[in-house]
Amino acid sequence: MASLSGLTDQQAKEFHEQFKTTYTAFVSLAALAHLLVIAANPWW
């Protein structure tokens, strides 16, 4: 049975692995940026 998006289960799982990797990198970079801001100019 075709999915709503047209992707197969295998494709969806494969894409999700890359999505998680990229998202983890994004969050890590944002966390680093926040630590630098805290070090330079804490907002509390």
Partner 1 sequence: MSDVAKPRNPEDDWKIWLVINPATWLMPIFYALLVLAIAVHWVVFSVGLGWK
CB 33 to partner 1: min, Å: 11
Q: Could you give the CA distance from residue 34 to residue 6 in angstroms, rounded to a whole number?
A: 39
The reply to whether 13 sits near partner 1 by the rule CB under 8 A is: yes
Positive or negative, the CA dihedral 17, 19, 22, 25 is negative
Contact predicate 7/15, CB 8 Å:
yes
* Cβ at position 34, least distance to partner 1 in Å: 11
Q: Among residues 19, 32, 34, 35, which is the contact residue for partner 1, using CB under 8 A? A: 19
User: Which residues form the interface with partner 1 (CB under 8 A)?
Assistant: 3-7, 9, 11-13, 15-16, 19, 40-41, 43
